[in-house]
A and B are shown apart, each in its own frame.
Chain A
């Protein structure tokens, strides 16, 4: 059996790739994909730890996580659609009508 720390390493890697994508990319769709990576990193953790602890709590929560990620994408795509209709771009750095 593969030891749990390798799964943790994998999930930390996936999480970091997602975070990097959020920080450096400007396309709203890439942003959504990066968030998905981060959410799935958590799912990897939950399933791996569930196996280690020998209870099913984590696996069930991973299913919840997937459902919520899908719901989040649905709302996100809707917002990106109205973004495109209003600004004719999906670059997240363009809308700057409000500034502090």
Chain B
């Protein structure tokens, strides 16, 4: 098929550039109107919404119309997987921008807040496209540095500052470990670009024996584990998500986690292909252990929480464990899957991508509901949410959709993405891993329904005093709920795209 217009290769970066340009436009607006309270918040939100939706539309257009593009001598690739994740990141960014509109209305430096969100989104889109460890490291830092500042954004709030500090401390440590791992991989293979690393490993051209490469891969896993909030680098997550402004918690736990996973998918399938490195370091075993520990710890810790935001933070760790199963069950062979006429590996990665997509909507939506509750000053504990449906029936209904979809009940697409993921893991012969995941899902239903019960059944000790209904957060919550439900009938179409994207990578 002839393209409609002949675009230069660099046009493939357009979705990522949409984020970058938006960040710069916001900085420009801020410097034209430096008095922070005179700059209209509506203008900022509008620019942010246009920018993030432009990224979604552009990546969707490239996904359907254009082929894969390699840029910068192969260090940056725009392919189906990177475009899928850019669309995901753009959607989450749009929700976060809309949800932040009322949340940050009373604070200073609002233009900077939005710019930082867009700089982090730029980094996430770059992570999705990075095809070299150097590009990946720079992109990961571009995600992390604005995120630290955003978590500590409420600078007179001790919780926010503490959260920012802890996020920064763990993040700085893990990025040091990540870059040291990269240096060891470079030492063993003499290359930083993913396909060249694979060639060097495959051709047995390793310097310094397999030990250096193995240690390097292990340290790279450490860097990925931090971004995805997986054990053992999960310590920052409950603190950072609880203390951060709630829209930022949603942003980090959905988009930032997705960026970490796309990096993991690309690094481990392209740079360290299983058949070449299995003699040195069998990374599926590492991901198997990480997956089991992460989902179990996340879900059990979530079940014991008294605060809603912290429960969601731990549940976010648990969901990282589910997606890690996609890498744990990876086989590197072209074995057929149980569900469709594709290889089981592409089904697994596609299901992981779908779960991250659905998770992007339902989890961001859930955190935005918490943002709504924080805006009203409802309180942080489960009991404080008692009987909230009387004041906010629509938002409560949306929250119920999010929570049940997170648990894997078929009211939202969370059910289908989990189902396909589990079928992929069974197809790889790891049925006992699915049993562990099912036990965890059952446990998660307990703590999610605790909140649903509080919202709809319990009666509040003192009636909630709610006098204003913030339009921005409401619109974002409702939009997220609608998409979560619509992905249920629309799942097949999007999943085909995701599985094809995963297949193109393998």
Q: Which residues of A contact B (CB under 8 A)?
A: 4-5, 8, 11, 15, 18, 22, 28, 31-32, 35, 38-39, 41-43, 45-46, 48-50, 52-53, 55, 57-58, 60-61, 64-65, 68, 71-72, 75-76, 78-80, 82-83, 85-87, 92, 95-98, 100
A-B contact pairs, 8 of them (CB 8 A): A8-B208, A28-B169, A39-B179, A68-B175, A72-B172, A75-B149, A82-B164, A98-B310
| Cα–Cα distance between A42 and B215 once the two chains are bound (Å) | 13
- A-contact bits for B175-210, CB 8 A (1 contact / 0 none): 111011011101100111000000000000001100
Of chain B, the residue at the smallest CB distance from A78 is B149
| Cα–Cα distance between A21 and B461 once the two chains are bound (Å) | 49
B172 touching A98 by the CB < 8 A rule?
A: no
| Cα–Cα distance between A22 and B346 once the two chains are bound (Å) | 40
Of chain B, the residue at the smallest CB distance from A38 is B176
The prevalent SS among residues of A at the interface is helix
B176 touching A42 by the CB < 8 A rule?
A: yes
Q: Which of A22, A31, A53, A65 is in CB contact (< 8 Å) with B179?
A: A65
Q: Which residues of B contact A (CB under 8 A)?
A: 134, 137-138, 141, 145, 148-149, 152, 155-156, 158-159, 161-166, 168-169, 172-173, 175-177, 179-180, 182-184, 186-187, 190-192, 207-208, 212, 238-239, 242-243, 301, 310
| Cα–Cα distance between A15 and B163 once the two chains are bound (Å) | 26
Q: Which of A45, A76, A82 is in CB contact (< 8 Å) with B172?
A: A76
| Cα–Cα distance between A95 and B182 once the two chains are bound (Å) | 33
B120 CB to nearest A CB, Å: 12
Of chain B, the residue at the smallest CB distance from A23 is B173
| Cα–Cα distance between A47 and B180 once the two chains are bound (Å) | 12
Contacts of A98 in B (CB 8 A): 159, 162-163, 238-239, 242-243, 310
Q: Which of B138, B149, B190 is in CB contact (< 8 Å) with A49?
A: B190
Q: Which of A38, A57, A82 is in CB contact (< 8 Å) with B161?
A: A82
Of chain A, the residue at the smallest CB distance from B313 is A100
A72 touching B175 by the CB < 8 A rule?
A: yes
B165 touching A92 by the CB < 8 A rule?
A: yes
Contacts of A72 in B (CB 8 A): 141, 145, 172, 175
Q: A4-B208, A79-B165 are in contact. List 8 more A-B contacts (CB 8 A).
A: A38-B176, A42-B180, A45-B186, A58-B192, A71-B141, A82-B155, A86-B158, A98-B239
Of chain A, the residue at the smallest CB distance from B156 is A86
B148 touching A75 by the CB < 8 A rule?
A: yes
Contacts of B166 in A (CB 8 A): 95
| Cα–Cα distance between A78 and B153 once the two chains are bound (Å) | 11
CB contact under 8 A between A53 and B176, given known A8-B187, A61-B134: no
A71 CB to nearest B CB, Å: 6
| Cα–Cα distance between A96 and B159 once the two chains are bound (Å) | 9
Q: Which of B141, B159, B179, B192 has the most CB of A within 10 A?
A: B179
